[in-house]
């Protein structure tokens, strides 16, 4: 295959991948984590980098705040992830060229283009697509640096690796395992062919120095935050099943997933001679790929020692490594056998997209908004849980006052201004709630609201103070709606939770004194 032909095919693969990632990207409303992301982005930039606000680092929040407009809808919120998801495709090809022939590199890029998990998280306003792209760039730089014989070029590549790896560390804490595993590979690559001892240890010291602040922030978060205590540590069989569902097409059940994973392992054994040849010619590239592929296992071991962190989204950055390894294993075939195996694999992944769609179901906040619009209540009360931003995002155009009840007082967080969400919610409630902002009397005011009825929104809500406050108002239930979302496969998959809408009427008008931000 000529260089011109490969460029045309790569461009076609990228266009197909871009179409899949952009198609209908704004149709589903923001779910809870996405909406909270937009709120967190309004924390002071320096506080995001130094305080235990969130387990994720500040990089994605900074980028979100810089490029996403306040008035943007779901599509605008997800644009950063979509762009990163598209860029992962040519980066996978570039990685493949460190290990494979052109046809194998194109196959790996095509597998990434058709990957359901990568498409799904390219349509989500979270950091995981950006994190995967940073993993790809860091892996490519590590492979290139270890095989570059020109000293000046090699040192520039190592310096760029330090910068990109640090960016990954400040994007999500799982990057610490990825970066550490690559840095542990480097000493074994000294002199193979030209990597120098001083360069290796300078790179390790540089990453350690640049990432120290984020490591301390994560340590502080682990001490004061809840971490992932809601997540259960999976067994080795459950881990394998989860991995198979993440990587392999059609792995809808545990047994099918384990069978497919065993088939992949058999393929790796069949390609053992190719592994031996690659280890002799490009040991650094193969070593980086293997430790990258092992990231889900490292996450599982981390959960055994510290706290469970293995989820569909935390293992997502390993997907390009799996695509490269699958293309490498299929490279053990030749001629017609390779064509059958390659196109068969692509058809299986494309068929999975046809059967499952391009993204997993999100929580039904759009239906919630439709149900709320059918009520005639004077105000909407949102349970002040971590899902409140998603409700406010869906109701951002609602003219009715939106209230939360915290610290024995009603607080107005939306409904009176067009920019009620996310900035007003962050200013009026969230930043004060986590202790980052103490609103002065000059910025806060009080007003009275007269009500005959309210609409109550709940999802995984156990706010006893709110329930008692509503009981004191003697509200009577006159209507209710509940979404049919169910958590079917466990928290590791991030399945949606049910949402309820309750219409309450009062026997006589009530007057609420509401705390609000002044204009």
* pLDDT tens sequence across 179-216: 999 999 888 877 776 788 898 999 999 999 999 999 99
d(CA 397, CA 432): 24
The predicted structure's pLDDT at residue 346: 94
**Which run of H or E residues covers position 411?**
strand 409-414
- The model carries a pTM of 0.92
Token pair, residue 148, equals 């570059």
Residues 6+ apart with CB under 8 A from 198: none
The DSSP call for residue 385 is S
Is-contact 481 371, C-beta < 8 A?
yes
Query: Tokens 């697509």 label which residue?
Result: 129
Would you state the structure tokens that stand for residue 67, as one six-digit string? Answer: 């490029």
pLDDT tens profile 110-162: 999 999 999 999 999 999 999 999 999 999 999 999 888 888 999 999 999 99
Taking the CA of residue 177 as centre, how many other CA atoms within 13 Å lie in the half-sphere pointing to its CB? Answer: 23
**Which two three-digit tokens encode residue 15?**
């266009």
Question: Which three-class secondary structure string do you get for 298-321?
Answer: HHHHHHHHCCCCCCCCCCHHHHHH
- Residue 188 confidence (pLDDT): 81
- Which of 420, 439, 419 is CA-nearest to residue 382? 420
Between CA 11 and CA 22 the distance in angstroms is: 16
Contact (Cβ atoms closer than 8 angstroms) between residue 47 and residue 53: yes
Low-confidence ranges of the chain (pLDDT < 70): 1, 193, 225-230, 250-257, 415-420, 437-444, 485-495, 518-519
34/394 Cα distance (integer angstroms)? 12
């Amino acid at each position: 295959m000529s260089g011109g032909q490969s460029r045309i095919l790569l461009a076609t693969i990228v266009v197909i991948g871009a179409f899949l990632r952009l198609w209908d990207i704004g149709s589903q409303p923001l779910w809870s984590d996405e909406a909270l992301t937009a709120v967190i982005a309004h924390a002071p930039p320096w506080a995001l980098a130094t305080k235990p606000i969130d387990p994720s680092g500040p990089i994605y929040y900074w980028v979100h705040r810089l490029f996403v407009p306040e008035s943007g809808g779901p599509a605008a919120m997800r644009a950063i992830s979509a762009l990163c998801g598209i860029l992962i495709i040519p980066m996978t090809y570039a990685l493949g060229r460190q290990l494979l022939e052109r046809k194998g590199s194109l196959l790996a890029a095509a597998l990434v283009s058709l990957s359901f998990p990568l498409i799904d998280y390219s349509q989500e306003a979270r950091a995981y697509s950006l994190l995967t792209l940073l993993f790809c760039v860091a892996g490519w730089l590590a492979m290139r640096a270890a095989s570059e014989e020109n000293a000046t070029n090699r040192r520039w590549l190592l310096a760029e690796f330090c910068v990109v790896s640090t960016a990954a560390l400040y994007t999500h804490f799982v990057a610490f395992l990825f970066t550490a595993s690559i840095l542990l590979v480097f000493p074994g690559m000294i002199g193979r062919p030209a990597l120098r001892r001083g360069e290796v240890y300078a790179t390790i010291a540089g990453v350690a120095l640049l990432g120290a602040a984020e490591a301390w922030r994560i340590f502080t978060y682990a001490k004061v935050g809840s971490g992932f205590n809601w997540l259960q540590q999976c067994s080795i069989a459950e881990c394998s099943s989860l991995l198979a569902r993440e990587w392999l097409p059609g792995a809808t059940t545990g047994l099918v997933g384990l069978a497919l994973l065993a088939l992949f392992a058999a393929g790796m054994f069949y390609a053992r001679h190719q592994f031996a040849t690659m280890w002799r010619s490009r040991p650094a590239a193969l070593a980086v790929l293997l430790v990258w592929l092992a990231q889900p296992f490292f996450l599982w071991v981390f959960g055994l020692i510290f706290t469970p962190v293995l989820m569909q989204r935390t293992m997502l950055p390993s997907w390009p490594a799996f695509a490269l390894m699958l293309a490498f294993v299929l490279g053990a075939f030749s001629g017609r056998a390779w064509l059958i195996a390659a196109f068969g694999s692509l058809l299986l992944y494309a068929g999975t997209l046809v059967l499952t769609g391009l993204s997993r179901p999100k929580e039904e906040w759009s239906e919630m908004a439709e149900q709320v619009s059918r009520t005639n209540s004077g105000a909407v009360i949102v349970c002040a849980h971590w899902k409140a931003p998603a409700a406010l995002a869906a109701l951002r155009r609602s003219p009715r006052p939106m209230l939360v009840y915290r610290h024995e007082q009603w607080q107005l967080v939306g409904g009176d201004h067009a920019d009620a969400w996310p900035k007003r919610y962050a200013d009026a409630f969230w930043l004060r709630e986590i202790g980052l902002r103490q609103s002065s009397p000059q910025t806060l005011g009080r007003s009275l609201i007269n009500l005959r009825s309210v609409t109550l929104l709940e999802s995984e809500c156990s706010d006893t103070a709110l329930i008692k406050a509503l009981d004191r108002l003697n509200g009577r239930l006159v209507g209710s709606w509940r979404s049919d979302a169910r958590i079917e496969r466990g928290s590791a998959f991030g399945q949606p939770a049910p949402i309820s809408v309750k219409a309450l009427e009062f026997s006589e008008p009530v007057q609420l004194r509401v705390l609000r931000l002044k204009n």
